[in-house]
Amino acid sequence: MTPERYQRIRAMLDARQTDLTVCMENVHKPHNLSAIVRTCDAVGVDHVHAVWENYQDEIRRGTATGSQNWVKVHNHENIEDAVAALRTSGMQILATNLSDSAVDFREIDYTKPTAILMGQEKYGISDKALSLADQDIIIPMVGMVQSLNVSVASALILYEAQRQREIAGMYQAPSMVDKTEQNRIMFEGGHPIFAKACKRKGLPIPHIDEEGQIIADDEWWAKMQMNKEAWDKLDQE
């Protein structure tokens, strides 16, 4: 891994907002799914949630352009399980929904742990999901249409969250990502050839030092069936 690559991944990890996420309920169009994941990566969201049985198959045909490699997607069988997982993390649950109790999305305090529920393209969020939310939010509109594309709406809300968190200094704080997870991301993102071989051979993820280099014993390298010098040369090409 080059020093530039290491620093870029390091900066990304330091900016990750582990207590901000999106939960997509039956969003089924691949380009919308992928666009939301891409926006999540752009604003520092490292985990997103989806209630859709074919998510992993469809996202590969979408337009995430590699962002799914940096954002972990958690697929849930139903909205109750998804919200329960978010509640365990202490998150406020916001639902994009036009209702009498809905407030302008910009009035929300996004510096709190927050999960944003986004509904299916045609029918929106289900009644069950709405009953589980803490607050309905809306994006004010003055035209003839009543709603935006789900990926566009997600982007607007996430960038408002980013704006608030940036003002609060939450992007300058030490990384909130677990050290083990940081090491995994640094390894897989910085040494993709090693990572693929490691997964294929069932080897443990090695330690990545402060210069982005792999630290592993001779046994680990031997199991790779190639010496360290050969791997180093291959990794730099």
Indicate the annotated binding residues for S-adenosyl-L-methionine: 96, 139, 148
What residues form the annotated binding site? 96, 139, 148
Residues linked to residue 135 through DSSP beta bridges, in sequence order = 94
Tell me the residue length of the chain: 237
Is 86 within 8 Å of 115 (Cβ atoms)?
yes
Summary count for the chain: helices (H), strands (E)? 10, 9
Nearest Cα neighbor of 45 from 11, 20, 70, 24 is: 20
Report the SS3 class of residue 79. Answer: helix
Instruction: Look up residue 200 and give its amino acid.
Output: R
Question: In sequence order, what are the residues at sequence separation of 6 or more whose Cβ sits closer than 8 angstroms to the Cβ of residue 172?
Answer: none
Which of 139, 127, 154, 189 shows the shortest CA–CA distance to 33? 154
